[in-house]
Amino acid sequence: ELKVEQNPLFLSMQEGKNYTIYCNYSTTSDRLYWYRQDPGKSLESLFVLLSNGAVKQEGRLMASLDTKARLSTLHITAAVHDLSATYFCAGSMNSGGYQKVTFGTGTKLQVIP
């Protein structure tokens, strides 16, 4: 069974600073996803990482995947207040022909002006 752990669980950072959220998973995961969730809202897909060494960037967010270390990172560059949200990583495994997704507990990010 796939288990996904994120750290830190809470992150308070000042605007303009850089930081990294870590996502470890317990066993082989076919894909790695990053989602953003604003309070009371649903999940917004940020990145889908498919292979070892994959790196994707969108604005101030960059996600990477190291399948050998079973580790994905979400790096935040020069944080701005609008990035305040909860970020989830999720892994997936083939389950009878579809990818069953398992989520981590999330990292609540607060960017302080």
Residue ranges that bind another protein, judged by CB under 8 A: 4, 31, 33, 35, 40-45, 48, 50, 88, 90, 92, 95-106
* Strand ranges (E), 30-70: 31-37, 43-49, 55-58, 61-66
Residue 58 burial (10 A CB sphere; 0-12, 13-18, 19+): exposed
Nearer to another protein, 62 or 106 (CB): 106
Q: Measure the CA–CA gap between 49 and 35, rounded to whole angstroms.
A: 12
Q: Least Å distance between CB 93 and another protein?
A: 11
**Smallest distance from another protein to CB 16, Å:** 28
| Shortest distance, position 45 Cβ to another protein, whole Å | 6
Cβ-based nearer residue to another protein, 10 or 59:
10
